[in-house]
Structure 1
Amino acid sequence: MAFSWARVGLLVAGALLCAGAQKTNKDESKVQPYTLPSAFTTPDGKTVRTVKQWQKQRAYLLKLFADNEYGRMPGAPAGMHYRVDSVDRNALDGAAVRSDVSVFLGPSDGAPVMHVLLYLPTHVAGKVPVFVGLNFAVVPPLSADAATRKREEDRGPFAQLIAAGYGVATAWYGDLEADNPDGWKTGVRSTLAGPLHIQPQEWATLGVWAWGMSRIQDYLLTLPEVDTHRIIVVGHSRIGKAALWAGANDIRFAMVVLNDSGEGGAALARRDFGETTQILNTAFPHWFVARFRDFNNNAAAMPMDQHELLSLIAPRALYVASASDDWWSDPKGEFLSAQEAGKVYALYGLKGVTGSFPPPLDTSIGDHVGYHLRTGQHDMMPFDWSQYVAFANRNLKPTGSIH
């Protein structure tokens, strides 16, 4: 069962081909020693020791990532509005209400639009927590034939999450910007450059996708049936990278889930293992701002590393997941990054990930920072979703009852 959020096998293969002659290390013994920057070291060389000091440091680190990797993040467009296009109150054999919603990114119905698919459970008393993420393939609207819709529903996590008492909100990432170097020409970076007061080169594709997830959250915040304090942003692979940037910028997300997010996501850039900064910037030059290319083959020159971006989620719940056969995403680098981020959570009296790598396979570890290493390949499986639900149940204290 592989939902379209995880349908990226061919895209990963394409990245490998684009990497061409670039040497890719998948031998742990060949990883050279590296020194991570400390999330606690301020620009003037002092050390953060309190939560109050961390709040100032957080803003400094967020700007480092904006300037050097992801670009500036604009706010919501003025006049954004919504239209419910269709509703199925008997979705998933009566377990859910399914809505197809147009999110207009401007004041008129001619503005750029995101087509959001929302499933909410019918068996929850009280407000519903919701997982928010983008997907890699257009999910058919209610106007499509029933067999097509059911086939797509069966592929996805909808039934699993609905049964657990969670809603799901998703949109196709291509609604925001096509995943190619010229995608900005017809995507949000061009169509909304004026209204958002930001030039296309000031941000990049991953930033646009991250921004879109916050716009889905804007819509959810208008719904009385949604628990606005339990909205979870989730992403797999490249969308995992975007979900991390969304969670770092938008503190309204109560929990951030990163599935096989790899380089530019949870994995440490300074570990020369699997996908590297140079490979990312060669295969996908549109994902990051131009400044990020300065660190090709020179990750040690970066003024930050990904564990510090994970740290910006604190004190909110954070879950990082890897797959045992997904060497390209560097599971050890993801684990070590999550472990380092736990040092910031400790400022809040919260526990993170402990122990050494590899942890026991197919076992969730950690407290307010969670991690697991699933058996298998680069994908998003029912096992992964079950861990995210259990982690959310522990950390977000759901109040709705299932009957």
Structure 2
Amino acid sequence: MRRIGRNIRWSTTAILALACATPAAAQLDGNSDEAQVAPYQLPDPLIAADGHRVATPQDWRKRRAELIALFEANIYGVAPQPRRQRYIVEEQGSALGGLAVRRQITILLDGHRTGPQMRVLLYLPAAARGRVPIFLGPNFHGNQAIHPDPAIHITPGWVTPAPGIRKGSATLHSRGIDASEWPVEAILKAGYGVATYFTGDLYPDGDGKVAESIHPFFGTSPSDPQRWGAIATWAWGLSRALDYLATAPGVDAQRVIVFGHSRYGKAALWAGARDPRFAMVIANNSGEGGAALYRRNFGETIRVMNSYWFAPRFKTFAEREAELPVDAHMLIALAAPRPVYIASATEDWWADPKGEFLAAKAADPVYRLLGAGGLDAKTMPPPDHPIHSRIGYHLRTGPHALTTSDWTHFIAFADRWLKPSILPRQGEDEFPNCCAHPRY
């Protein structure tokens, strides 16, 4: 058995039948033999474009801007600046049996009800005294899918096939279908809030959906080789949700954690790289295009990934990954000096767990340069032995999934690094002039 897409498991017979039936079978390709991994050399994140070695935090600030531009030009595309937004907030002071305060926020992305919108669901622990840190991540099937709470609005957008989804539309039966991936009550009891938005509000997660995305509203040119792809769009949406959270009562805007699973793990890493307001970045089973190294020919490859996820130029690097000017370790390093956590699974060879670990390890020199510590492991740890250093990592036993076990490690990691005494307060900078760049 192996996993295709997000939550569908296929038998070997089914895979062979699919391979004979459809061009989509190309997505089943990929080397799964460690002995077949060819030698490769990673570009040094601490060598600037002019050949000079990055030796100080001030040097890293310049290098960081170079890397952001390279990732935009060659992989994710260039996202537009946000417009003036307006928020419509619906709040219930006692939700989930008194455990939570629930807010449902409509973000008017141009300030008008007739323009593009995204919908954010936020739960805060009702027992909190003061502002709380938040886990913020995108969801796959609409806000109503993360919890059976009957008051959650059902998404009106197009939704990928799943239980309770009928002809692309969510029904009442889709409530809570992804609740196992979102242990809301456990997160709230740990003292954190939970926020999410449905990616389909901005770019429906399917090929040929660009016309239904927000791209036409922003005047995106289809011929632009640096056109922002779906991953950049979803990452942009995470920053727009953060715009709201920065204004929200009860939210500690200095302690918002961006996270994502699978393709949304890719988006979380890019959002965390691009937007330094996120206090922590967590990517679960993100694979290539996320935490896994492009130059390591194992599992997912550029050739088989969905084209709509990325800028058009990205696909030109298929079969010539060594010519990419960047790699995944540089993406992880762009979170520095903030805590970053990479999570893999033993059965998820498609996402290349070893490649994810090696990328985290190769980001270590940047963290060390900034005096932030790094990844405290010389070799890949055994399954279910998490590393909670500044660059964190775990290899969970099991398949490509987002589980209660993963969340246990995420919360423990956040507990270690996001205590008020550890993070700089607003107006302070732990590494002056290191990470500033224009608002995303």
TM-score by length of 2: 0.82
For residues 318 and 271 of structure 2, the distance between their equivalents in structure 1, rounded to whole angstroms, comes to 24
Task: Flag the 1:142–1:355 CA change in 2: closer, same or farther, 3 A.
Answer: same
Match runs of 1:12-23 below 5 Å: 18-20=24-26, 23=29
Aligned to 2:82: 76
2:310 maps to amino acid: F
User: Which secondary structure does the structure 2 equivalent of 1:34 belong to?
Assistant: coil
Aligned to 1:3: none
- For residue 27 of structure 1, the aligned residue among 23, 30, 33 is 33
- How far did residue 89 of structure 1 move? 2.6
Match runs of 1:316-335 below 5 Å: 316-335=338-357
For residues 7 and 269 of structure 1, the distance between their equivalents in structure 2, rounded to whole angstroms, comes to 19
Where does structure 1 lack aligned partners over 5 or more consecutive residues? 1-5
Match runs of 1:241-252 below 5 Å: 241-252=266-277
Aligned to 1:186: 212
For residues 338 and 75 of structure 1, the distance between their equivalents in structure 2, rounded to whole angstroms, comes to 30
- How far did residue 151 of structure 1 move? 4.1
Match runs of 1:166-181 below 5 Å: 166-181=192-207
Match runs of 1:205-220 below 5 Å: 205-220=230-245
- How far did residue 64 of structure 1 move? 0.5
For residues 17 and 119 of structure 1, the distance between their equivalents in structure 2, rounded to whole angstroms, comes to 42
2:151 maps to amino acid: L
For residues 107 and 53 of structure 1, the distance between their equivalents in structure 2, rounded to whole angstroms, comes to 38
- For residue 264 of structure 1, the aligned residue among 259, 274, 289 is 289
Asked whether 1:386 is paired with 2:408, we answer: yes
Aligned to 2:7: 9
Asked whether 1:108 is paired with 2:123, we answer: no
Q: Are the counterparts in 2 of residues 19 and 279 from structure 1 also a CA contact under 8 Å?
A: no
For residues 295 and 11 of structure 1, the distance between their equivalents in structure 2, rounded to whole angstroms, comes to 29
2:339 maps to amino acid: A
Comparing 27-36 and 132-141, the one that deviates more: 132-141
- For residue 142 of structure 1, the aligned residue among 133, 151, 167 is 151
Query: What is the RMSD computed on CA atoms of the aligned residues?
Result: 2.4
2:308 maps to amino acid: H
- How far did residue 84 of structure 1 move? 1.5
Q: Are the counterparts in 2 of residues 142 and 149 from structure 1 also a CA contact under 8 Å?
A: no
Q: Are the counterparts in 2 of residues 240 and 260 from structure 1 also a CA contact under 8 Å?
A: yes
Task: Flag the 1:21–1:203 CA change in 2: closer, same or farther, 3 A.
Answer: closer
Task: Flag the 1:125–1:362 CA change in 2: closer, same or farther, 3 A.
Answer: same
Task: Flag the 1:17–1:97 CA change in 2: closer, same or farther, 3 A.
Answer: farther
- How far did residue 44 of structure 1 move? 1.4
Q: Percent identity?
A: 44
1:65 maps to amino acid: F
Q: Are the counterparts in 2 of residues 325 and 378 from structure 1 also a CA contact under 8 Å?
A: yes
- How far did residue 211 of structure 1 move? 0.3
After superposition, the C-alpha distances for 1:96-139 in whole angstroms (9 at most, x for unaligned) are 11111111111211111111111000122121100111100113
User: Which secondary structure does the structure 2 equivalent of 1:115 belong to?
Assistant: strand
After superposition, the C-alpha distances for 1:342-378 in whole angstroms (9 at most, x for unaligned) are 1100012122224344312112114111000000010
User: Which secondary structure does the structure 1 equivalent of 2:300 belong to?
Assistant: coil
- How far did residue 384 of structure 1 move? 0.9
For residues 116 and 151 of structure 1, the distance between their equivalents in structure 2, rounded to whole angstroms, comes to 16
Aligned length: 384
After superposition, the C-alpha distances for 1:156-188 in whole angstroms (9 at most, x for unaligned) are 221111011111110111011112232211211
For residues 231 and 59 of structure 1, the distance between their equivalents in structure 2, rounded to whole angstroms, comes to 23
User: Which secondary structure does the structure 1 equivalent of 2:106 belong to?
Assistant: strand
Asked whether 1:59 is paired with 2:85, we answer: no
Give 1 or 2: higher helix fraction. 1
TM-score by length of 1: 0.90
Asked whether 1:44 is paired with 2:50, we answer: yes
After superposition, the C-alpha distances for 1:294-338 in whole angstroms (9 at most, x for unaligned) are 110110111111101111100111000000110000000000000
Q: Are the counterparts in 1 of residues 293 and 327 from structure 2 also a CA contact under 8 Å?
A: yes
Q: Are the counterparts in 2 of residues 129 and 398 from structure 1 also a CA contact under 8 Å?
A: no
- How far did residue 224 of structure 1 move? 2.7
After superposition, the C-alpha distances for 1:257-288 in whole angstroms (9 at most, x for unaligned) are 000000000000000000011111xxx11011
Task: Flag the 1:127–1:162 CA change in 2: closer, same or farther, 3 A.
Answer: same
Aligned to 2:397: 375
For residues 292 and 99 of structure 1, the distance between their equivalents in structure 2, rounded to whole angstroms, comes to 38
Comparing 262-271 and 68-77, the one that deviates more: 68-77
Task: Flag the 1:253–1:369 CA change in 2: closer, same or farther, 3 A.
Answer: same
Q: Are the counterparts in 1 of residues 143 and 153 from structure 2 also a CA contact under 8 Å?
A: no
Q: Are the counterparts in 1 of residues 105 and 120 from structure 2 also a CA contact under 8 Å?
A: yes
Aligned to 2:424: none
Task: Flag the 1:100–1:224 CA change in 2: closer, same or farther, 3 A.
Answer: closer
For residues 73 and 338 of structure 2, the distance between their equivalents in structure 1, rounded to whole angstroms, comes to 24
For residues 22 and 142 of structure 1, the distance between their equivalents in structure 2, rounded to whole angstroms, comes to 39
